Amino acid sequence: MLVLGVESSCDETGVALYDSVRGLLAHALYSQIAMHNDYGGVVPELASRDHIRRVLPLTRQILAESGCSLADLDGIAYTQGPGLAGALLVGAGMARALAYALDIPAVGVHHLEGHMLSPLISDTPPEFPFVALLVSGGHTQLMLVDGVGRYTLLGETLDDAAGEAFDKTAQLLGLGYPGGPALSKLAASGDASRFTLPRPMLHSGDFDFSFSGLKTAVLTLVKKAGIGAAPDIAAAFQDAAVDVLVMKSLAACKHSHARRLVVAGGVGANTQLRERLTREAAARGIAVFYPRMEFCTDNGAMIAFAGAQRMAHAAPELTFAVKPRWDLATLEAV
């Protein structure tokens, strides 16, 4: 079954072709980061308009690259939510219209399910069950995953998401948007031991997170130590954030008796998080699985893959709705 995947929930237009037998055939991405950089964050209206410009040329590009034609498609998957309503509508409208014209099913995919299953796009995918650490710009959750659509929330952030904390800290340190990669790069030249920042909720005994206090602590530190100390502050921030993510993930694995941990979402691209998690998990007999680096942040491949898992249940529909807010734990098992 050949599935076209379309991602347009935020500031990246991603498309991909996933075949349930042959695997991932092609994928392409257009990032709007440069456009939003001038505003210090994503401008929803500009994002929607740019998705309109990109989505069809990108789709033509991957069809040409893979030697496929529209007639070869068996279904189309698109991000139905959560995300920016106008941006979601671009992908949903394009996918539904094309599916209708081709008389094939279209399926709306949960963006976080896409992230969470992205490590399965691999020759050596993890088996179920596993614990998933979802760390994106909008979400931070620990989930127990027993199968596709069989998700139990173990814990989540009570305020800022991990990626949001990286972005806001980066902004305080005068770095651009998105802040995660820039902050992590700056931290590499800093001394993490010069300052110690709080590890919020490290010993709360549950699997919830809180990152807004960490951001406030950074603000206080910037005022006290000055912007000249930015590399050391960045290193201290990254240390604290990674510490909490690693300890909580390992505690969630222990609680669930899980031998496998999956990390997904933009912050999963963080090198320090990857190194520490892999090392400390291995010491406890837990294997950690990551998506390919390019599939940590938003992409079409994860939507095509998750869509392919759900395609058998896709119903032909003339109307459609996007879900800017959507609880992952409410999905149905397939």
Residues of this chain that interact with Zn ion (CB under 5 A) are 136, 298
Considering only residues 184 through 213, tell me which ones interact with ligand KG4, judged by CB under 6 A. Answer: 184
Nearer to ligand KG4, 140 or 256 (CB): 140
Selection from ligand KG4, Zn ion, none that 309 binds (CB < 5 to 8 A by kind) is none
> Using CA atoms, how far apart are residues 150 and 135, in angstroms rounded to an integer?
19
Give the count of residues interacting with ligand KG4 (CB under 6 A).
Answer: 19
CB of 141 to Zn ion, least distance (A): 12
Nearer to ligand KG4, 122 or 272 (CB): 272
CB of 104 to ligand KG4, least distance (A): 27
> Using CA atoms, how far apart are residues 255 and 154, in angstroms rounded to an integer?
10
CB of 301 to Zn ion, least distance (A): 12
Q: Which of 81, 149, 180, 190 binds ligand KG4 (CB under 6 A)?
A: 180
Considering only residues 74 through 113, tell me which ones interact with ligand KG4, judged by CB under 6 A. Answer: none
Burial class (CB in 10 A: 0-12, 13-18, 19+), 140: buried
CB of 301 to ligand KG4, least distance (A): 13
172 binds ligand KG4 (CB under 6 A): no
**Contact letters for ligand KG4, residues 120-139 (x by CB under 6 A):** ----------------xxx-
Name the one range near ligand KG4 by CB under 6 A: 28-36, 48-56, 176-184, 228-236: 176-184
Q: Which of 178, 190, 291, 307 binds ligand KG4 (CB under 6 A)?
A: 178
Nearer to ligand KG4, 108 or 179 (CB): 179
Nearer to Zn ion, 13 or 256 (CB): 13
Name the one range near ligand KG4 by CB under 6 A: 94-102, 163-171, 214-222, 248-256: 163-171
CB of 206 to Zn ion, least distance (A): 24
Residues at the contact surface with ligand KG4, assessed by CB under 6 A? 10, 136-138, 163, 166-167, 178-181, 184, 265-267, 269-270, 297-298
